[in-house]
Structures are given as C-alpha cells and as structure tokens.
Amino acid sequence: MSPVLKIESRGHESKFWRYASPILALLLTAATSGLIFAAMGRPPGLTVYTLLVTPLLQQDGFQGLAVKAAPLIMMGVGLSLAYRANVWNIGADGQFTLGAICGGGIALAFPDAPSFALFPAIVAGGVVGGMLSGGLVAWLRIRFNANEILTSLMFAYITQYLLVFLVTGPWRDPEGFGFPQTALFTENALAPRLIEDTNVHIGVLLAPLIAVALWVTMEKSLLGFEFRVLGEAPRAARFAGFSENRLVRVAMLVSGGLAGLAGVLEATGTLGQLTTTLSPGYGFTAIIVAFLARLNPLGVIPAGLLLALTDLGGDAAQINLGLPNAVTGIFQGILLFYLLGCDILLLNRIRRVPHTSGAA
Amino acid sequence: MNEFAPSGPLLTMTGMTKQYPNCLANDLVSLTVERNQIHALVGENGAGKSTLVKMIYGVVRPDAGEIVWQGRNVTIPNPGAAQRLGIGMVFQHFSLFEALTVTENIALGLATAKERVGLRDRILRISTEYGLPLDPDRIVHDLSVGERQRIEIVRCLLQNPKLLIMDEPTSVLTPNEVRKLFVTLRRLASEGCSILYISHKLEEVRALCSVATIMRHGRNVARCAPAEKTVKELAEIMIGMDLPTPPPRPPVSATAPPRLVLDRLSIRSPGCDLKDVSLSIAGGEILAIAGIAGNGQTELMDALSGETPAARPESVQIDGVAAGQMGPAERRRIGGGFVPEERNGHGAVAAMSLAANAFLSGYLRRALVRFGMIDKKRTFAFAEEIIRRFDVRTTGPRAEARSLSGGNLQKFLVGREILQDPGVLAINQPTWGVDAGAALAIHDAIMALAQRGAAVLIISQDLDEIFLLADRIAVIAGGRLSEPVATRSATVESIGRLMGGATADALGEVVHA
C-alpha cells in the first residue's frame, strides 16, 4: 500500500517555520508564477528574473526601490499593529488618499507660506486626514457594530471618487490643458530630499524609524501587550480589563494616521501634485506586506522592500517583455495565497504514514 | 465465531506502551477486567488513563502490548472493530446533534439501515429496562446533561456490549442523578456487562467499584479493592505522596464587617439572566455557590470580575466601595482577585508565556508597568514567585501557558491572584479538570487566604469540594441564588435537592413562558 501524507498538530508553534514559512511561500510563488508565464508562452526563468532582479540592475535601482518601499512600509507597520489586535483595516488605500487630499489641499491653499511652517502643516494635515478616515471606521464599529472590513473598504472607494472629483473639478489646474491633475506644488511645499536632485525624500528615513518605534511599542509596552492579548484571546483581554473599544480606536487611528502620512509624503515627495492615479493600490499591497512580515513591524521593512521590488519588476516586465500590467497583481496575489497557506506548518507538521487497511 | 466458555477474564492487557512525541503516555501498563465486574481506572490527569482506554476502544494504536479479549488475542484498529468485539464507550464530551431527536441521534451512529428497523421501540425498551428514562422523540437541545448522557449509554447498550467504558461520567451530574446512574451500572454488571469506570472521584470509586487499577505517570502503581481503603489512602497511592490533613479553620467572628456584598444584582444575558442575587461575605469567610452548569455561574463570575458591568453601582460592593460599574482593572485596584472557569482563552492567553500571563492580571497591583513600558525584570520575578510558591511544574516563566497541564496552569492562575493579596477573591470551578495533588494545593491556598482575612467566593459543581472548604453554602439555579446556609447544618442531600428542584422550576418557567 502507498504511504499517505497526514497533517498532525505539533502542539506548539514551530520557531523554524515561523521564519522559513515566508521563504517557502516565496519559492512556491516563484515556481507557480513561472508556470503561469510558461503557459503564456514566455520564458519562465527570464520573466521571474525580470520581476525580481532587473529593477535593481538599473541606474538608481536601489533609490527607486527605497522610494517605492517607504509608503508600503509605513502602511504595513500600521496594518500589522491593527491586525495583531484583530482589527481588520482593509481600507489603508483610502486613508492614504485622504491624507494626500488633506495635505495637498493645504499645499495648494498656501503656496507662498514659508517652508518651515508649510511642510509640517501639510504633514499634520495628511496624518489628520488618515486618522479621520480610520477614526470614522472605528466609530462605526464601536457605535453600530459595523464590520470594519466592509466599512474601511467602502471608504477607500468613496475617497478615491472624492479625489477624482477634486482633481477633475474644483482643484484642477487651470493651466493643465484639461488633464485630471492639480497644479504642481510650490517648492516650499515639497518633502525635504535626503539626496539632492533625486526623489529620495524624508519618508525613506521615516519609514524604518516608524517601524522600529512601533516594534518597541508592540513588544515592550503595556499598550502593545493590550493589542496582542486582544488579538490572541478577546475574553482574556476583557478579563484583564483592557477596553476593546479603546484599542479598536487606537488601532484605526494609528494605522489610518500612518497611511495618511504615507499618502501626503507620496504627494509631496514623489508626485509634486495630486492626480487621479495617486495610489497604484499601495494600501492593498501593504496588506500583503503586513502578512509577509508575520505582522511584526520589523519584518515589515524587508517585506515592504520585496513587494516594492515586484511593483518595479512589473513595470520592467511590461516594458521589456510586453507582459500586461496585471502580472504584478498576479504575482502578489499568489504570494499572499502561499503565505497564508504555508502558515499551516506553524502549528502542524506533515508526516508520511504507511497506509494500512485498518486506518481510515 | 467460536463460542468461548464464560470463564477466565473478559479483558487482559499486558505490556501496553504508547510513546507520544513528548511523553511516554503508557509504559508497560497492564489491566485485567473480569466478567460482571465494575472496575475502576484511577489516576491523576495525565496519568495515562485516557491513552489506555483509547487503545482498548481503537482510537489510539499501541506501540507495543498484547490485548486478550475473551481468551483470544486481538488487535483493535478502530472503534468499529471495538464495537464488533462488544466494547462500548461513553465519552466525557458527548457527540450529539442538538437539533435532532434522541432517536435520530442514535440512528446516525448505526452502520446499516437494517439496524434502524424498530429502533424507537428498542430505545424505549432498553431505557425502561435499565432505569434510564428517555423520551425518544425529544429534541436533544431541550435535554439536560444527565439525559444526554443517558442517550450515549443507551446508544452503547443497543450493541449488547460485554464491556462498557465510562470516562468521568459523574462530573456533569447532580448527586441524585449519580445515585440513579450507579443503580443502572450495578444492574448492567450483574447481567454480564462489565464496566470500566474512569474517575478521579475516589468516594464514588469506593462506593461503586469492586477493583481499582491505579495509574501514575503512565505506569501501574497498584491494584486493590477500593472499599478496603480510605479515600485518603487511595489519594496517596494515586499521587505518590502523603497527604497532610488540613487543620480545622477557626470560626469566622460574627462581628467581622462584610468585604464583598452583592445587593439585588440583576444582569440580563443571552445565556442565563441573573435575578436579584444578594449575598454578603465577611473577611475570613469562604462562601460556596453550588449549582448545575448553565444556571448563571458564568454570568455571576463575569458580573463579579467586572467583565459585565451592573446597572447599579451599589449592586456589587468591594470593601464598602460601590463597584458595580467599574471595569475589571478598577475592581482589582480596590482589592478584587478573580479566577474564571476557562483557563486558556479567558484566565490565560494560551499562546503567551507564563510571564506574560502573570502580567495579564497582575500588572496593576504588582506595579509591573513603568512609564507605559513593561518592567520585564519584575514581571519575570513575579512569574517565578508564582511558580515557586505554588509548585507549578513547568520549564520556567518563558513556557507557554498551553504547554502546562490543566492542574499546573490552574495552580499558576490561582497563585497569580493570591500573590496579589486580594481582599476579595472569586473563583469559578477552582479544581475543574485538575488532578488531586493540584486540587489539594489549591484548596490549601484558598483556606490560607481566608485565614489571612480575605473574603472568598467559590462557585463550584463539586459538592465534596464545597463541603470541604465552605463556611456557608448557597445554591444557584435558574439565575437565582438561594439563602446561604451554614455548612454544619447542610447535607449533600439538602443541597442536591435545591440544585435539582430549582432547575425543574426553571424548566417549568421556560415551558410556560
């Protein structure tokens, strides 16, 4: 008789698979997407290479990667905190956009204000915008028990249409030949650069700092402990006297605020104006980032870099190989699928057992 | 099939060995069950009783060992094979569909359509014959735990078993139901169905069983006639050490001021509403609340701990402070300590370390937070203190809560509250699913705490425990609390009547509502 595979509980969480499972997921993703590319008639090896390696070989490849990764890291950190507390904020993209709208609005309203006052005001506006969007979701959940997965996602769409309305209507650049975009921000409204004449803006520095700060909060502080207990065992959190409502509020405000910060830095750091295509789905990619990082804020840094790489790689595949834009989405989707799937190895092991007539 | 002369033992097992990844659950265990015998299998949690019976019932495969059934060497690969041999088992946790009737539930367990012919009549016949009253047409949802157990027993008896295995059958029954069950079991044994009775309730084992096999740490340690030993002797064999007799506690002074007062506490709940619950416990006093599960105990515990706030602040008073609308943290600050019934997921976070779990309820009174950050050194010291003082068997403060046995985790959780020196301690089911050694340690700690002047409220379904610990006893039924009576003037029968009688009233209310 042939041996059969059996899944059995380990009884504890495996330390090895905690770190090996994302790597296994990545390898399986590369293999599966290779098969898909082969089915599309492309050389699988070259396509995966183009997705994951080519972007780094280009001039300024690493700078581009860092700029792309910064918003993903900021949002991924906020989301990993919320998800640890079982607060499922799916609408970071909307919070990102509202942050950009609020900050961008300030930039457009006061083009001549001095830089030292204007930029902090813009950043504050962005953070407040994100918190507003997140806070609204928290309020709906606490007040009406409305599922935050649905409301945060709906807000993401509402905010996107608000952006479209603004940049095609009241905020459209009168000298912009009718393109759906605002006027360019003035120089004093732009995010400070870390390197002259590049778009490596201050967010590239802030993102890892925020990740470290939130890691410390999560692992070492009472607040972080409250989040972890709420996520692991809601009844135990109640028993300890941790207020679920307060934690939901904090989680939504922090993840919303960080998304707003990422949004305003994207607007003032890379784009220099508001356009309808402000976010190429950063807020959704950040969800994958958070899970790839095992909801650990420090892990978000490499995870954010990897997902940024696939974003750039998608562009390269489009240009070099003529693949459709959807390649990036497919690759990221497969990655998330395997990530969640490989998690079964954390608490379980797979064993070959000899097949016998008696055992069913 | 060969006919065997009805002589020789029914079941003989020798050299039974089962190795699990982290422990040797059974190490050369032997067991002999005679015909017409009620045989007790006794041991602490984790002694290997369950593993042994699971091997008999074909749920677990032995690594080594020989099973001789009616003089014939057999292997039992699955429960179906066990049933064909004539072995039935009633598990501690029932597998019944709530939405189906008694007959439908039993029919689902049968292999072929042929067996279902005339099933309803056979159920009626067996249930009347063996004193197991059961209406085949009732929906399981409406039945009490005792009735549900009868379904499982009848289900086994339909197969005409030669051996019936019962795993902790009385843990869910009232004293009256226990008495009736014993009548049924004795009758079965006299008619040729041996019973293998798994329990750690030694009083019951003495009353019911003619022979006991005692296990400890996966091995046989003794085989004896339990009636010839005292409960204390049996317990000492079971846990492998001498048990000190607890010194009698001095009576509570009549003038001691109350430390915990409930004043007409009413809580609406999706489970069982609490209706006008009032009581008063003085410092140094232990008050126990008896009752059958599901009569408001969980709701009362949540209302005491502050997880469910009360409508009026005065309905819960801790040391004279109206605490009805305080949350759990504020109640701890004014001297409350709480141990809920569920360990993993309520009293403790299963996937977190013991240190983190010590912090969970102890961070306020033990001052484990500094400037919003966890004081790791003090937290570890607190966890280590609990482990040391309460003899928690574990690898240390870093061990995850779920890696501990039920008894050890319970010692840790009780120790966590007691070492915070509470003025009022409320415990729901202090020794539920806990081995005898740990139960003893927990009882000692509770008595010592009361001795130091705390008011202790115990909610328990274990009447032995209640009579051992309590100064006064009240009964909760249908969310109402009876007037507490002094333990001296109460009997198991009088308390049992309140438990069962009041439930009947509550059921009546539901029917007439």
Residues A193-229: tens digit of each pLDDT = 888 888 899 999 999 999 999 999 999 999 999 999 9
B271 phi, psi to nearest 5 deg:
-85, -85
Does residue A88 sit in the same domain as residue A134? Answer: yes
The verdict on A295 and A328 lying in the same domain is: no
If you average pLDDT over residues B271-279, what whole number do you get? 90
On whether residue A53 sits in a domain, the answer given is no
User: Given CB atoms, is B80 within the 8 Å cutoff of chain A?
Assistant: no
pLDDT of residue B442: 92
pLDDT bracket for residue B67 (50, 70, 90): very high
Summarize chain B as % helix, strand, coil (round to 5): 40, 25, 40
Tokens 């019976």 sit on residue: B53
Q: Which helix (H) or strand (E) holds B458?
A: strand B455-459
For B371, nearest residue in chain A (alpha carbons)? A221
DSSP result, A225-288? HHHHHHHH-HHHHHHHT--HHHHHHHHHHHHHHHHHHHHHHIIIIIISS-BTTS-SSHHHHHHH
Nearest CA-CA distance, residue A259 and chain B, Å? 25
SS (H, E, C) B211-231: EEEEEECCEEEEEECHHHCCH
pLDDT confidence of residue A177:
83
Q: At what angle do helices A115-144 and A92-109 cross, to 10 degrees?
A: 140
Q: With respect to residue A50, please indicate whether it lies within any of the assigned structural domains.
A: no
Q: SS3 for B382?
A: helix
**Are A222 and B350 a contacting pair at CB < 8 A?**
no
Quick check: B435 and B200 in contact, CB under 8 A?
yes
| Euclidean distance between CA atoms B81 and B87, whole angstroms | 9
In a domain, A55, yes or no: no
CA nearest neighbour of A125 among A109, A138, A140:
A109
Pair (A284, A335) in one structural domain: no
The predicted pLDDT at position B250 comes to 67
Determine, for residues A358 and B78 on separate chains, whether the beta-carbon distance falls below 8 Å: yes
- CATH class of the region B258-346+419-512: alpha beta
Comparing CB atoms, the residue among A220, A241, A358 nearest residue B374 is A220
Q: pTM here? A: 0.76
Nearest to A29 by CA among A291, A324, A319: A291
| Same-domain pairing of A201 and A215 | yes
Q: Is A6 on the interface with B (CB under 8 A)?
A: no
What is the structure's pLDDT at B248? 65
Q: Are A125 and A253 members of one domain?
A: yes
Model pLDDT for residues A124-137, shown as the tens digit of each residue: 999 999 999 999 99
Kindly report the average pLDDT of chain B as a whole number. 87
What is each CA distance from B91 to B53, B127, B284, B480, in whole angstroms? 10, 19, 40, 31
Task: Please report whether residue A280 resides in a domain.
Answer: yes
Residue written as token pair 């040729």: B192
What does the pLDDT look like over B122-175, one tens digit per residue? 899 988 888 888 888 988 888 877 788 889 889 888 888 999 999 888 876 777
* Sequence ranges of chain B with CATH classification 3.40.50.300: 11-239, 258-346+419-512
E strand or H helix that includes residue B358: helix B354-362
**CATH value at residue A150:** 1.10.3470
- Place B22 in a pLDDT band, splitting at 50, 70 and 90: low
What is the structure's pLDDT at B140? 87
Q: Report yes or no on A56 lying in a domain.
A: no
Residues A79 and A37 placed together within one structural domain of the fold: no
The residue type found at B280 is S
- Kindly state the helix (H) or strand (E) to which residue A337 belongs, with its residue range: helix A326-342
Of B349, B369, B400, which has the smallest distance from its Cβ to A222's Cβ? B369
Nearest CA of chain B to the CA of A221: how many Å? Answer: 4
Architecture label for domain B11-239: 3-Layer(aba) Sandwich (3.40)
Residue at token pair 């003082």: B389
Q: Looking at the structure, do residues A343 and A296 belong to the same domain, yes or no? A: no
- The answer on A16 and A163 residing in a single domain is no
Q: Do A341 and A309 sit in the same domain of this protein?
A: no
Residues of chain A where predicted confidence (pLDDT) is lower than 50: 356-360
pLDDT band at B252 (very low <50, low <70, confident <90, very high): low
Q: How many domains does chain A have?
A: 2
The answer to the question of residue A165 being in a domain is yes
- Judged against a pLDDT cut of 90, whether residue B201 lies above it is answered with no
Tens-place pLDDT, residues B394-438: 889 999 998 888 888 999 999 999 999 999 999 999 988 777 778
From its phi and psi, is residue B235 left (phi > 0), alpha (psi between -120 and 50) or beta?
alpha
- For residue range A260-285, what is the model confidence (pLDDT) as tens digits? 999 999 999 999 999 998 998 899 99
Taking 70 as the threshold, does the pLDDT of residue B501 lie above it? Answer: no
A219 and A333 fall within a common domain: no
Alpha carbon distance A138, A152 (integer Å): 9
Looking at the structure, tell me whether residues A70 and A10 fall in a common domain: no
Q: Which residue has the higher pLDDT, B236 or B371?
A: B371
Strands in chain A per DSSP E: 4-9, 348-353
Q: What is the pLDDT of residue A2?
A: 60
Q: Strand, coil or helix: what is B148?
A: helix
Confidence of residue B47 (pLDDT cuts 50, 70, 90): confident
The answer to whether residues A314 and A329 belong to one domain is no
Q: What is the mean pLDDT of residues B360-388?
A: 95
Establish if A251 belongs to a structural domain: yes
Of A221, A228, A229, the CB nearest to B372: A221
Domain residues for the domain of A213 are: 64-322
Please name the member of B307, B329, B403 whose beta carbon is closest to the beta carbon of A12: B403
SS3 B15: strand
pLDDT tens digits, one per residue of B434-457 = 777 788 889 999 999 999 999 999
